[in-house]
Amino acid sequence: MNSRAIIWSVRRELWENRSIYLAPLIVAGVIALGSLGAVRHNLKPDSLASHEELVGGILMGTTLIVAIFYCLDALYGERRDRSVLFWKSMPVSDWTAVLAKMAVPMVVLPVVTFVLTIVTQWVMLLAASAYLSMKGQSAAALWSLPWLRMSSGMLYHLITVHSLYYAPIFGWLLLVSAWAKRLPFLWAFLPLATIGFIEKIVFNTTHFAMMLGSRISGGMEGPETKGSMMPWPTNPLEFLTSPGLWIGLALAAICVAMAVRLRRYRDPI
């Protein structure tokens, strides 16, 4: 498989889907502008640190929503407007096209989230420092916060949860996008709700709902993560050896393979 073709295919996705970077960019801009007024009311280091963490949480929530709607429209949209016929005439395989689309939520959006979060946090920090300087106060306490640890923790969270652990979710959404003739959003969530409902009625259990909730929450419901705006597993080895991670990646691979087959043989809408 040609890696250069995948890179160009990813670039095509960015050209055609500007919401991938425009939506989080707008949210980051609103947060940065809002912080200029907020720094006047509370400049305590602990408060600023919690605000910085809140920035990461808001932007990650924004890009997650963007990822969901992007995946649902990625293959459905090109069949709806029949542009898939043009792209199939190009020397790009179905595997390359689908993997490029999978790379958007798993690689591109986490990178966009991390960069915009760091930039927004620096804007907030510089604004707070400038305001303190104008009042004749020292901003040393703000700069002494563990910025490197906070940034590396956020990057670790993006890689482990928003990329690897959410892979089966993105794969499922792409599969639905390749299959649905209409209303992909409904077809993505209705079968999952139906399975949970039937399990509850027949067996009076909620194992599927709990599994799905664990996957959406990143598999981190332990007491060590409660109360944190941005929880992440503290032991990388434990995360990489967890069965849930590899089962999810296997399911993601199956969904992607099925999406490739559907793209190859599915007729435009």
pTM of the model: 0.85
Distance CA 122, CA 143 (A): 10
Residue 173 has pLDDT above 80, yes or no: yes
Q: Percent of the chain, pLDDT > 70?
A: 84
Residue 239 has pLDDT above 90, yes or no: no
Residue 108 has pLDDT above 90, yes or no: yes
Q: Higher-confidence residue: 33 or 257?
A: 257
Confidence of residue 225 (pLDDT cuts 50, 70, 90): very low
Q: Where along the chain do its domains lie? A: 3-265
Distance CA 179, CA 76 (A): 8
Residue 233 has pLDDT above 60, yes or no: no
Confidence of residue 267 (pLDDT cuts 50, 70, 90): confident
Give the CA count within 13 Å in the CB-facing half-sphere of 176: 23
Q: Higher-confidence residue: 93 or 142?
A: 93
Distance CA 225, CA 220 (A): 7
Instruction: Pick from 32-41, 42-51, 249-258 the range whose average pLDDT is largest.
Output: 249-258
What pLDDT is recorded for position 231? 46
Q: What is the CA radius of gyration of the chain?
A: 21
Question: pLDDT tens, 14-29?
Answer: 998 999 999 999 999 8
- Judged by DSSP in three states, 93 sits in coil
- Please write down the long-range contacts of 82-91, taking CB distance under 8 Å and 24 or more positions apart: 82/268, 82/269, 84/263, 84/268, 85/268, 91/5
Instruction: Pick from 40-49, 73-82, 219-228 the range whose average pLDDT is largest.
Output: 73-82
DSSP 146: -
Query: Is residue 203 exposed (0-12), middle (13-18) or buried (19+ Cβ within 10 Å)?
Result: exposed
Residue 208 has pLDDT above 50, yes or no: yes
Residue 226 has pLDDT above 50, yes or no: no
Query: Is residue 154 exposed (0-12), middle (13-18) or buried (19+ Cβ within 10 Å)?
Result: buried
